[in-house]
Amino acid sequence: MAHPLYVPRINNNDDSVRLTGHLTVVGARVQKGDPVADIETDKATFVVEAEQDGYILALHGQAGDNLQVGSILAWIGERAEETIPAETAAGDGAKKRTAEPTLKAALMLAEAGLDASSIPASGERLTAEDVRSYLAALPRKADSKPASNRASSDEPRPVRSGKPVSLSSEERGMLRTVLWHRDEAAPGYVELQYEAASFENYAAEFQQKHKLLLSPLLALHAWRLAQAGLRNPKLNSTIVAGQRYEYDQVNLGFTVQSGDTLFMVVLENAAELTEKEFVDRLFELQRSAIKRTLKANQSSGSTLSFTSMARWKVARHMPLLPPQTALIVAHSSPVEGVAFVGATYDHRVLSGYDAIQALQAVTKISNEN
């Protein structure tokens, strides 16, 4: 029986991905976990792997193509001579979708005050592009266009001469984050001072006890943040359609600098891990980021985040809030034994008191540890 391999969702904001290239050929024998194709978003490049043993019956798309999330990327059969189901044999890759809108489409619907049933969908699931097309066809007043959605032709032009330069995929991802932080969230910032020595000593003892090659200091802070998110679901939430949307599990985002590229690796279900398990898993993700071998679920879908600029001796910084999250904690380098942790938070979801409680949890060394 032929099995479809679907284009995965890399980021909640993206309804499509770019195909970098196929890593196998039609007729090749593959095993579960073998690489089939490279895809990329505005954040990073990922490898799509075979989900079962078999033979490659068909590969859809060419390098550089934009592929719809949920469409069929490849067909894998138990036998090399199997045929592809007739309804998709033409290679259009149209996966059967559920009736509900994508998250991005749902947010757009809520902002515009529209119901999904009133908008025709290009597939069985309503996408953000479907909503854009519908809105573009509506008559609108000259002054009714939101500033955040202005076309580039409406933006003021620089008064000095210059030339446009295309953004890299990483830069486009940062632009998207900045625009969400500016247009959707109501960001606030709080900061907490704490004694650096006690936590540094704890991290050194933990490193020696578990015979670790690298200092676990940042990972130990981040583990406490994940635990705080488990205890207080508001920290691990966002606002969707005027309601608080609490995530089912804590997916901890953690920034990693690899050369000129900033990644946010994501440790799924982080709050269910022991302190040692968390440290080990986070170190593995950091190594994968440096080698550029992250999988889709390892760099998307963060629900709560931690970042640090201590390696550059930065005393304080205020990070941008990642899309669809309510809190990111910023760790900085200590100055004369005094350290600071700050939190950028979505004031639609959290109060300053909530954010301060999270910072207290991040820096606390309890007797249980």
For 319, which DSSP code?
Answer: P
Among 151-160, 183-192, 193-202, 337-346, the minimum mean pLDDT is found in 151-160
Cα→Cα distances 284→37, 214, 291, Å: 22, 12, 11
Architecture per CATH, domain 171-362, reads as 2-Layer Sandwich (3.30)
Q: What are phi and psi of 209, to 5 degrees?
A: -60, -40
Residue-wise pLDDT tens digits, 49-82? 899 999 999 999 888 888 887 888 999 999 888 8
Highest mean predicted confidence (pLDDT) among 38-42, 90-94, 113-117, 143-147: 38-42
Residue-wise pLDDT tens digits, 195-244? 889 999 999 999 999 999 999 999 999 999 999 999 999 999 999 888 89
How far is Cα 257 from Cα 209, in angstroms, rounded to an integer?
27
pLDDT in the model for residue 217: 96
pLDDT in the model for residue 233: 96
Q: With beta carbons less than 8 A apart as the criterion, state whether 364 and 224 touch.
A: yes
Whether the pTM exceeds 0.85: the reply is no
Q: What are phi and psi of 265, to 5 degrees?
A: -75, 155
What CATH class does 3-88 carry? mainly beta
| The two three-digit tokens of residue 270, written as one number | 């982080």
pLDDT in the model for residue 13: 62
Tell me the sheet residues that pair with 72.
6
Cα→Cα distances 149→129, 132, 211, Å: 14, 10, 52
| The two three-digit tokens of residue 147, written as one number | 């500033």
pLDDT in the model for residue 144: 40
Helices 217-231 and 352-362, packing angle to 10 deg:
140
Identify which of 58, 13, 12, 65 has the alpha carbon closest to the alpha carbon of residue 38.
65
Q: With beta carbons less than 8 A apart as the criterion, state whether 311 and 334 touch.
A: no
Handedness of CA 202, 200, 210, 282 (dihedral sign): positive
Identify which of 334, 335, 354 has the alpha carbon closest to the alpha carbon of residue 344.
354
Residues of the chain with CATH 2.40.50.100: 3-88
Residues of the chain with CATH 3.30.559.10: 171-362
Q: What are the strands, taking DSSP E only, across the chain?
A: 3-6, 16-22, 29-30, 35-40, 45-49, 54-59, 66-68, 72-77, 187-195, 237-240, 243-246, 252-258, 261-267, 304-308, 327-331, 338-346
How far is Cα 17 from Cα 11, in angstroms, rounded to an integer?
9
Identify which of 196, 216, 249, 232 has the alpha carbon closest to the alpha carbon of residue 345.
232
How far is Cα 78 from Cα 172, in angstroms, rounded to an integer?
40
Element spanning 182, H or E: helix 169-183
Residue 5 φ/ψ region, left for φ over 0, alpha for ψ in the -120 to 50 degree band, beta for the rest: beta
3-class DSSP assignment, residue 299: coil
What CATH class does 99-142 carry? few secondary structures
Residue 63 φ/ψ region, left for φ over 0, alpha for ψ in the -120 to 50 degree band, beta for the rest: beta
Residues of the chain with CATH 4.10.320: 99-142
% the chain with pLDDT above 90: 42
